[in-house]
Structure formats: structure tokens, C-alpha cells
Amino acid sequence: MPINYYIFTALALFSIGVIGVLTRRNAIIIFMCIELMLNAVNLLLVAFSKLHLADMGNAGAKVLNNGTDAQLFVFFIMVVAAAEVTVGLAIIVMMYRNTHSVDVNFLNRLKN
């Protein structure tokens, strides 16, 4: 497949995540939309790694590591996302315990 299709697919997924973050007020759904955005970037990274592998096959250029670098970046993104979800859900649970709501509009009293 041409790389354009992957770029536009990842772009659409990322925009859906952005729309979800901007429109929903539920903290957990905002978190899930952040996961969507991270996955869009992951998909694009894997597609670009295979693009460079194809380039190397065609042009004979020496690309280091045959495109495994991008896939390792995806691996590290997953690791960081897992840690982020752990801490974020703990914060949401604490917020629910204090306010009995997960509405992020409720947090605007932090400004006082």
C-alpha cells in the first residue's frame, strides 16, 4: 500500500482522539482518547519503518538496523503509556473519592 493511506488513517484516528478530548467531560473517556492518539502515532511509526525497509531494498542504501528502531520506539511508547495509565487512573480514583464525580468541569474550583 502507498504510505499516503497510512498517513491519512493515522491522521483521522488522531483527530478523532482530539475531538474526544475536547468534547467529552468524563475524565476516563478523556484518558481513552489519549490512548487513541498514542495508537495513531504508533501505527504511523510502524508504517514508516516498513517504508524505510522498502527504500533500503530498492535503493541499496544502508539503513541501520533494517527499520527495527521505529518498532522499538513503538515499544517504548507502549511502556510509557502503561505507566501513565496506572498513575492517571489512581488520580481519577482519588478524585472520585473526594468529589463523587469524574466530571472534569468539577475541577475548576482548583483555581481558587
What would the grid cell of residue 38 be? 498514542
* Closest listed residue to residue 66, CA positions, set 79, 54, 81, 84: 54
**Residue 111: CB atoms within 10 Å:** 5
**Residue 40: CB atoms within 10 Å:** 20
Residue closer to other proteins (CB basis): 4 or 112? 4
Cα gap 106→62, rounded to integer Å? 55
Q: Which residues, numbered 66-105, are part of the site for other proteins (CB under 8 A)? A: 66-69, 71-72, 74-76, 78-87, 89-94, 96, 102-103, 105
Regarding 1 and contact with other proteins (CB under 8 A), the answer is: yes
- The contact mask relative to other proteins for 3-42 (x = CB under 8 A, - = no) is xxxxxxx-xxx-xxxxxx-xxxxx-xx-xxx-xx--x--x
Residue closer to other proteins (CB basis): 94 or 107? 94
CB of 45 to other proteins, least distance (A): 9
CB of 112 to other proteins, least distance (A): 20
CB of 4 to other proteins, least distance (A): 6
**Residue 57: CB atoms within 10 Å:** 11
